């Protein structure tokens, strides 16, 4: 079965960098988007960055120019290079793999990993 595994979270000082990694296993179809979301308690989960199968990327306004998303060579991995981190970036980050074609339609999520930006 599909498993979304995330790594790379942790504690970093403001202005520092972290790199998140996500691996989606057992997905056979070749038309799905991978994305990073973040969420704090009481707030709606928001898109941070995503990359479609084609390589097209989307970034939230709050992270554009600071974060860079990329797929692995096999396209079953998603990396998020986070630079110039700010305290407001503190959140739980979730990786998603979602179908693009609609059929089969799927939406898989990782369990989340904590990113804390603090002096």
Higher pLDDT, 41 or 69: 69
What is the average pLDDT value for the chain, to the nearest integer? Answer: 94
Condensed to tens digits (0 to 9), the pLDDT of residues 45-103 reads 999 999 999 999 999 999 999 999 999 888 999 999 999 999 999 999 999 999 998 88
| Confidence category of residue 27, pLDDT binned at 50, 70, 90 | confident
Tokens of 5: 């595994």
| Confidence category of residue 29, pLDDT binned at 50, 70, 90 | confident
Tokens of 24: 């989606």
pLDDT of residue 13: 98
Among the listed residues 16, 48, 8, the one whose alpha carbon sits nearest the alpha carbon of residue 117: 16
pLDDT of residue 22: 97
pLDDT of residue 103: 82
> Counting Cβ atoms within 10 Å, is residue 41 exposed (0-12), middle (13-18) or buried (19+)?
exposed
Res. 9: pLDDT tops 80: yes
Average pLDDT of the residues in 32-40: 95
């Amino acid at each position: 079965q599909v498993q979304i595994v995330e790594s790379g979270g942790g504690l970093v000082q403001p202005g520092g960098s972290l790199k998140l990694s996500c691996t989606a296993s057992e997905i056979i179809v070749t038309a799905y988007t991978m994305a990073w979301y973040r969420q704090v308690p009481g707030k709606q989960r928001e898109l941070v960055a995503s990359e479609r199968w084609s390589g097209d990327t989307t970034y939230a306004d709050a992270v554009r120019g600071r974060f860079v998303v990329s797929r692995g060579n096999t396209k079953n991995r998603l990396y998020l290079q986070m630079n110039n981190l700010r305290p407001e970036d503190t959140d739980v980050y979730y990786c998603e793999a979602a179908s693009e074609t609609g059929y089969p339609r799927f939406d898989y999520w990782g369990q989340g990993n904590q990113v804390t930006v603090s002096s």
